[in-house]
Structure 1
Amino acid sequence: MSAKKRPVIFCDFDGTITLSDNIVAIMKHFKPEGYESIMEQTVAQHLSIQEGVGAMFNLIPAGFQDEVTRFVLDQAGIRDGFKEFLEYVREQDIEFNVTSGGIDFFVLPLLEPFGIPAEHIYCNHADFSQDTIRIEWPYPCDEHCSNGCGMCKTTVMRKYPAEQYERILIGDSLTDFEGAKLADRIYSRARLTEKCRELGVAHISFETFHDIIRDMRHREEG
């Protein structure tokens, strides 16, 4: 740990804390008509994350709320070592934030057993009061980002000035890469690891949270 800067963690949710991308899983399971082309355009970055995710959920009737929620809670799965990792960062008095492009109706129930304070969970909001599911965006891009992130991870990170904080990012996908550019340390897996290797960005790869605990303990001892 840096002696001068206070460490703070920004951890992705889908595919990082959970074993799969829950938005993709929802769409592939419920198959709302027209979602495939929207997903393809979003992956190809012809649509922003905010545009694509909003449009896909708008295809699902709001009356499916309980069914969609139950599906995610049944299939998501939590990555090995997450509980122990939270215990470690609490022991070390390291601030831990979940920065998720996911939606509150499944993010919050999945995280509820772990006792993470609500003010440290950043995610999008689902409105089920209309005919179809509408997604709202409480944490949009600031003036430094024009990517249409929906839940903008770099905006959250910029609240923690680089001169005061050692910013640690944990993630798995290309949606984490903009945040990785701001981070002092990157724990990566899957597509984020591939992107870091491709562009020569320093990173520590992981598969479980036990891997991250080991690296952080090693740094503490060293």
Structure 2
Amino acid sequence: MTRPIILCDFDGTITETDNIISLMKHFAPPEWEPIKDAVLERSLSIKEGVTQLFSLIPSSMKDEMIQYLRNTAVIRKGFKEFVEYTIENRISLYIVSGGIDFFIHPILEAYGPFQEVFCNEASFSETTISIRWPYPCDEQCGSKGCGCCKPSILRTLSKPEGASVIVIGDSVTDLELAKQGDMVIARDYLAQKCKEDGIPFISFETFHDCIEALEKEGVIT
């Protein structure tokens, strides 16, 4: 049987909370909230919103922010077992995140291995934090402002012919990818938008639920 590939979000999916939001609440001035609201309302692109959010924070806070998330970020229950499950069943697991490298890699270092980790990159060379975008939208993306464009990443992956694409996520950054998936496992904002847009999905709260969904749907036989 051709094995599926899994594209899994990080913030709010692997971790219980969105780490960018956690950082903004703790380190940013009040101006961050209207920017966040504009992104969620989709009147501001994710790329522009994240750029503006991090420009509010001094680069000198890098180490403090990393330590803060090391102390506060909670990995969703079952993630360790889920990674082990994908390894045992020879399923390619990609982490695709609109989050930033400086906190994703430290938090994930105790897990894996993963097929690959895709995320945005931070630069601390200027007074405030600037963001680099190594995975931009391709010509087929209709949004053109994703930042880390998950559908574009999917189109670059070498996957076996006939392999199904499983999408796991929770937020606005996962919506366009969910439209491309053969199976969507969703929670929170993504689940709400899938329901509104008529995209079939399976709800989850823990990664034990994700394993159960894969078993129930018979993607592994």
State the TM bucket, normalised to the shorter chain. over 0.9
CA displacement, residues 24-50 of structure 1 (integer Å, 9 cap, x when unaligned): 111111132522222222222221111
Q: Is the 8 A contact 1:33 1:59 kept in 2?
A: no
Give the C-alpha shift of residue 145 in structure 1: 1.4
Matched, 1:204 2:202: yes
Q: Following superposition, which runs of at least 4 residues in structure 1 exceed 3 angstroms of deviation? A: 160-164
1:133 correspondence with 2:129: yes
Which residue in the other structure is 1:62 paired with? 59
**Residue of structure 2 equivalent to 1:105:** 102
Q: Is the 8 A contact 2:15 2:74 kept in 1?
A: yes
The one-letter code of the counterpart of 1:183 is G
Residue in 1 that maps onto 2:111: 114
Could you state the TM-score of these two structures normalised by the residue count of structure 1? 0.92
Residue in structure 1 matching 2:183, options 167, 182, 185: 185
Q: Which amino acid aligns with 2:99?
A: G
1:136 aligned partner, one-letter code: R
TM-score by length of structure 2 reads 0.92
Partner of 2:121, secondary structure, is strand
Aligned in 2, Cα 1:203/1:32: closer, same or farther, shift over 3 Å? same
Cα RMSD, aligned residues only = 1.8
Query: Could you say what secondary structure the match of 2:110 adopts?
Result: helix
- After superposition, the Cα gap between the structure-2 partners of 1:31 and 1:202, relative to the gap in structure 1 and judged at 3 Å, is same
Q: 1:71 to 1:221 in 2, by over 3 A?
A: closer
Moved more, 119-128 or 159-168: 159-168
Residues 7 and 130 of structure 1, relative CA distance in 2, 3 Å threshold:
same
What is the one-letter code of the residue matched to 1:168? Answer: I
Unaligned runs of 5+ in 2: none
Distance 2:21 2:43 in 1: 17
Distance 2:197 2:54 in 1: 33
Correspondence for 2:47 among 42, 47, 50: 50
Identical counterparts, % of pairs: 48
Q: SS at 1:182's partner residue?
A: coil
Shift of 1:15: 0.4
Residue 85 of structure 1: aligned partner: 82
Aligned to 2:193: 195
Counterpart-to-counterpart distance in 1, 2:190 and 2:94: 19
> How many residue pairs end up in the alignment?
218
Aligned 1:165-180 pairs, distance under 5 A: 165-180=163-178
- Contact preservation (8 Å) 1:174, 1:191: yes
